[in-house]
């Protein structure tokens, strides 16, 4: 589904990505671990066409990212720790706006449906600025799903959430994880990352240093691998 | 067609946000009035020459308040990274620019129209007879000012101390627009026929066309990361 | 190789400047009405011409940067702007020195003066903007856009200021032929060549300086990594 080869990105003299090769199958949930500054966000931003790579290629669903970024965007939903939501607009208005941007037929019905799904019923007419962090994040998920994308990127979705909100997010993610939906998540929280993923990858200083299956690991065993890799980086 | 409707959605979204917060419109309006009042102290309000400097005063007020509004163009988009949300939408990214340009033009136009009656009263200048011509000049000027201004506000929003950078970058580029606006307004207020100032209308139109096109070509270079 | 060419250009510029100075002050005849102060004209015009070239180079290099994304073009654009700003300052000082005795005022709102002043403002803003951005590629992209827009604005500024004020600036070189004594014209051309070569020399040195800076930061990174 997603095929990344030899991907590099440099900002002048700073190299954010230094040759990333990665394959993600359709329906797979991949978690990308790594310390701050590893280039995880840069990688996701390239995969979602926000940033152009310096070199290397990305093929998503058979389409080359360089040539067809417009088409590719239709299949991508992004959830980050920022919500992409307008505080002055209501939950419903935000969703309807994004629905229209994605040419979703019948935006109102779709928005109402998603608000129910993320458990914000009764709040649809409240301004987003009055929402708690957890509610914001749930609405942000609804926003990312508005066009029913087959690929979802999650960039540190747990940051700023309390225990309860994190639990709800975890349950929502489990529901999202279907046969036809490919998901990539970045995090540095090992417990959350292992909970729902199929495959795990560690990225350090713009390079992938470890790949493994989630089922081969417990939190303990993976923690050992992770700190070994991170500790070695200097 | 889908492109234009999305441009419109972005513009409508901006208007809706503004109707809720009223942040921009209020401060732009108050600022525009303040500038005129301050000028009133700088010049002798009853003096003969006030008619000659009046067009300049009007345009300083309108341009300064428009700059104030421009600084806020991308502020709402940066707060929760909404700009990235817009960039993810399956549309040509110049649509973001045009949506913003249209909403900015509407804001500035509203402020200009609200400023005019105060201008007429403060400086005792009858405007009713020349209103259509005046609105034409104001519209052309605002298009020229906002088209480059919106482009530059995409720069200033992601630069440290960008609020200060915006007028520094924008005003020298806008010199032809400001000259044309002041000259044409002066002639209109003097009751000159359109023949006399058609040249300035041409300058304004030329500037508008050229810089909307340049902005169209260069906008994507500014928002990529 | 490039070092040798640079040095050759420098040498040529230095010798031509001496010749140009000789021609401006001794060879060219004294102007009848303006007197000796007119001799500033040769370098004034030469710097005016070269500053325009400098901003044009920035414009072209800005386009080249956006197309190729090579850092080299950004360096050229930024270096050329610095020279353009310096030369504009020279024009705006030599001009008034000449104007005071001739027109009776240091400053008039003549199209050429105003356009030069506006250019100075545009490119000073360009320079300040560069200082405000630390991220290299972002700085390059933003300044390239300003470099393009700024230059395309120049003719519009010139014509609108021209219509706004009636010109009192002497048109020395008219299309139908120069209204200058042949010795004066020769002096002017030599000064033009001298200053253009001077510009080229400083530009090449400035680009080299930037490249050396990059080399130093690369080396610093390497050393930090090894230690």
Say yes or no to pLDDT of A211 above 70. Answer: yes
pLDDT reported for residue A61:
86
The answer to whether A85 contacts chain B (CB < 8 Å) is yes
Identify all chain B residues contacting C159, using CB atoms and an 8 Å cutoff.
176, 203
Sign for the CA dihedral angle at A52, A54, A59, A65 comes to positive
Question: Tokens at residue B28, please?
Answer: 């732009």
Identify all chain C residues contacting A11, using CB atoms and an 8 Å cutoff.
135-138
Sign for the CA dihedral angle at B139, B143, B146, B149 comes to negative
Looking at residue C26, what DSSP letter applies? I
C137 CA: distance to closest CA in chain A (Å): 5
Residues 6+ apart with CB under 8 A from A226: A33, A190, A202
| Strands C177-178 and C173-174, bridge-based pairing | antiparallel
**Where does C69-135 have alpha helices with state H?**
71-103, 111-132
Say yes or no to pLDDT of C166 above 60. Answer: no
**Pairwise CB contact (< 8 Å): A12 & C217:** no
Residues 6+ apart with CB under 8 A from B98: B7, B10
Q: How confident is the model at residue C172 (pLDDT cuts 50, 70, 90)?
A: low
A160 CA: distance to closest CA in chain C (Å): 28
Say yes or no to pLDDT of C65 above 70. Answer: yes
Q: Break chain B down into helix, strand, coil percent, rounded to 5.
A: 85, 0, 15
Chains interfacing with A (3 or more CB pairs < 8 Å): B, C
- The per-residue pLDDT for range A110-138, each reduced to its tens digit, is 999 999 988 888 888 999 999 998 889 88
pLDDT reported for residue B100:
94
What's the rounded mean pLDDT across residues C144-151? 95
Stated pTM of the model: 0.89
- The per-residue pLDDT for range C95-121, each reduced to its tens digit, is 888 888 877 888 878 888 888 999 999
Cα three-residue angle A24-A149-A203, rounded to 5 degrees: 35
Q: What percent of chain C has pLDDT over 90?
A: 43
Higher pLDDT, C6 or B44: C6
| Spans of chain B below 70 pLDDT | 45, 225
Identify all chain A residues contacting C137, using CB atoms and an 8 Å cutoff.
11-12
For residue C122, give the nearest of B155, B165, B172 by CB distance: B172
pLDDT reported for residue C96:
87
3 state DSSP class of A30: strand
Beta bridge partners of A5: A57
A68 → chain B, closest CA residue: B90
Identify all chain A residues contacting C135, using CB atoms and an 8 Å cutoff.
11-12
Question: Tokens at residue B127, please?
Answer: 């405007």
ipTM of the complex: 0.90
* Residue B121 neighbours by CB distance under 10 Å: 11
Identify all chain B residues contacting C161, using CB atoms and an 8 Å cutoff.
175-176, 179
Q: How confident is the model at residue A35 (pLDDT cuts 50, 70, 90)?
A: confident
Q: How far is CA B107 from the centre of its chain?
A: 8
B–C: how many Cβ contacts below 8 A? 79
B2 CA: distance to closest CA in chain C (Å): 28
A163 CA: distance to closest CA in chain B (Å): 23
Cα three-residue angle A211-A217-A219, rounded to 5 degrees: 110
For residue C132, give the nearest of B151, B165, B179 by CB distance: B165
* Burial track C16-50 (b if 16+ CB lie within 10 A, e otherwise): bbeebbebbeeebeebeeeeeebbbbbbbbbbbbb
pLDDT reported for residue C167:
44
**Pairwise CB contact (< 8 Å): B80 & A86:** yes
| Helices B2-21, A91-101: crossing angle, 10 deg rounding | 160
| Strands A55-60 and A199-204, bridge-based pairing | unpaired
Say yes or no to pLDDT of C174 above 70. Answer: no
Cβ-contact A143, A102 below 8 angstroms: no
Phi–psi pair at C138, nearest 5 degrees: -65, -45
Q: How confident is the model at residue C175 (pLDDT cuts 50, 70, 90)?
A: very low
Q: Report how far residue C222's alpha carbon sits from residue C227's, in angstroms, rounded to the nearest whole number.
A: 9
Interface probe, candidates A9, A13, A205, chain C, greatest C C-beta count within 10 A: A13
The answer to whether C71 contacts chain A (CB < 8 Å) is yes
Sequence spans of domains, chain C: 2-170+177-226
Q: Which range in A68-72, B190-194, C32-36 is most confidently predicted, on average pLDDT?
A: B190-194
Cα three-residue angle B68-B72-B77, rounded to 5 degrees: 170
Q: In total, how many domains does chain B have?
A: 1
- The CA radius of gyration of chain B, in Å to the nearest whole number, is 18
Identify all chain C residues contacting B224, using CB atoms and an 8 Å cutoff.
141
3 state DSSP class of A23: strand
pLDDT reported for residue C170:
56
Mean confidence (pLDDT) of chain C: 86
> Could you report how far apart the first and last alpha carbons of chain B are, in Å?
28
Residue-range definition of the domain harbouring residue B135:
2-224
pLDDT reported for residue A89:
92
Q: What percent of chain A has pLDDT over 70?
A: 99
Cβ-contact A139, A94 below 8 angstroms: yes
Question: What CATH fold (topology level) applies to the domain C2-170+177-226?
Answer: 1.20.120
The answer to whether A160 contacts chain B (CB < 8 Å) is no
The answer to whether C176 contacts chain A (CB < 8 Å) is no
* Burial track C108-136 (b if 16+ CB lie within 10 A, e otherwise): bebbbbbbbbbbbbbbbbbbebbebbeeb
Beta bridge partners of A7: A20
Residues 6+ apart with CB under 8 A from C26: none
Beta bridge partners of A31: A185, A200
Q: Report how far residue A217's alpha carbon sits from residue B111's, in angstroms, rounded to the nearest whole number.
A: 63
pLDDT reported for residue B113:
95
């Amino acid at each position: 589904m997603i095929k990344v080869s030899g991907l590099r990105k440099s900002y002048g003299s700073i190299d954010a990505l230094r040759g990333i090769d990665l394959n993600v199958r359709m329906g797979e949930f991949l978690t990308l671990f790594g310390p701050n500054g590893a280039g995880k966000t840069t990688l996701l931003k390239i995969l979602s066409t926000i940033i152009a790579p310096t070199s290397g290629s990305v093929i998503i669903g058979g389409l080359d990212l360089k040539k067809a970024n417009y088409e590719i965007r239709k299949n991508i939903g992004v959830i980050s720790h920022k919500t992409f939501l307008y505080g002055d607009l209501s939950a419903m208005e935000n969703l309807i706006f994004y629905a229209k941007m994605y040419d979703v037929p019948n935006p109102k019905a779709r928005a109402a449906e998603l608000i129910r799904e993320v458990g914000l019923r009764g709040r649809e007419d409240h301004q987003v600025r009055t929402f708690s962090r957890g509610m914001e994040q749930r609405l942000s998920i609804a926003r990312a799903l508005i066009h029913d994308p087959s690929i979802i990127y999650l960039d540190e979705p747990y940051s700023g959430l309390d225990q309860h909100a994190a639990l709800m997010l975890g349950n929502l993610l489990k529901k999202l994880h279907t046969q036809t939906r490919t998901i990539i998540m970045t995090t540095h929280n090992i417990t959350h990352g292992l909970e729902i993923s199929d495959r795990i990858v560690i990225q350090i200083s713009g390079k992938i240093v470890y790949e493994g299956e989630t089922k081969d690991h417990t939190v303990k065993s993976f923690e050992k691998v992770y700190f070994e890799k991170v500790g070695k980086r200097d | 067609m889908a492109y234009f409707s999305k441009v419109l959605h972005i513009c409508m979204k901006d208007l809706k946000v503004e109707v809720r917060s009223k942040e921009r419109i209020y401060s732009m309006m108050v600022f525009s009035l303040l500038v005129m009042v301050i000028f009133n102290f700088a010049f002798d309000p009853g003096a003969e020459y006030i008619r000659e400097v009046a067009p300049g005063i009007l345009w300083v007020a309108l341009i300064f308040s428009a700059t104030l509004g421009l600084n806020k163009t991308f502020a709402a988009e940066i707060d929760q990274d909404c700009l990235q949300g817009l960039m993810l939408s399956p549309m040509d990214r110049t649509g973001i620019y045009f949506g913003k340009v249209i909403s900015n033009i509407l804001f500035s136009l509203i402020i200009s129209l609200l400023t005019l009656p105060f201008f007429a009263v403060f400086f005792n200048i009858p405007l009713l007879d020349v209103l259509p011509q005046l609105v034409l000049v104001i519209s052309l000027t605002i298009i020229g000012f906002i088209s480059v201004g919106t482009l530059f506000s995409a720069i200033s929003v992601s630069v440290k101390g960008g609020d200060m950078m915006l007028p520094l970058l924008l005003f020298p580029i806008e010199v032809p627009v400001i000259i044309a606006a002041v000259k044409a307004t002066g002639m209109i207020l003097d009751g000159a026929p359109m023949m006399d100032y058609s040249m300035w209308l041409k300058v304004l139109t030329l500037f508008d066309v050229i810089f909307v096109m340049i902005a169209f070509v260069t906008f994507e270079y500014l928002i990529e990361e | 190789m490039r070092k040798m060419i640079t040095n050759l250009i420098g040498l040529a510029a230095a010798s031509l400047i001496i010749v140009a100075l000789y021609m401006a002050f001794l060879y060219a005849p004294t102007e009848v009405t303006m007197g000796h102060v007119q001799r500033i004209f040769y370098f004034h015009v030469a710097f005016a011409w070269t500053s325009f070239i400098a901003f044009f180079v920035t414009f072209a290099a800005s386009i080249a940067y956006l197309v190729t994304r090579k850092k080299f073009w950004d360096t050229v654009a930024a270096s050329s702007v610095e020279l353009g700003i310096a030369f504009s300052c020279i024009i705006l000082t030599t001009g008034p020195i000449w104007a005071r005795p001739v027109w009776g005022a240091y400053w008039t709102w003549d199209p050429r003066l105003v356009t030069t002043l506006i250019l100075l403002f545009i490119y000073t803003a360009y320079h300040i903007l560069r200082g405000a951005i630390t991220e290299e590629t972002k700085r390059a992209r933003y300044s390239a856009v300003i470099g393009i827009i700024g230059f395309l604005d120049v003719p519009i500024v010139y014509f609108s200021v021209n219509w706004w004020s009636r010109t009192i600036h002497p048109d020395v070189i008219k299309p139908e032929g120069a209204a200058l004594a042949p010795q004066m014209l020769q002096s002017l051309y030599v000064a033009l060549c001298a200053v253009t070569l001077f510009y080229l020399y400083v530009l090449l040195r400035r680009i080299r300086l930037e490249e050396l800076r990059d080399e130093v930061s690369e080396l610093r990174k390497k050393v930090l990594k090894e230690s």
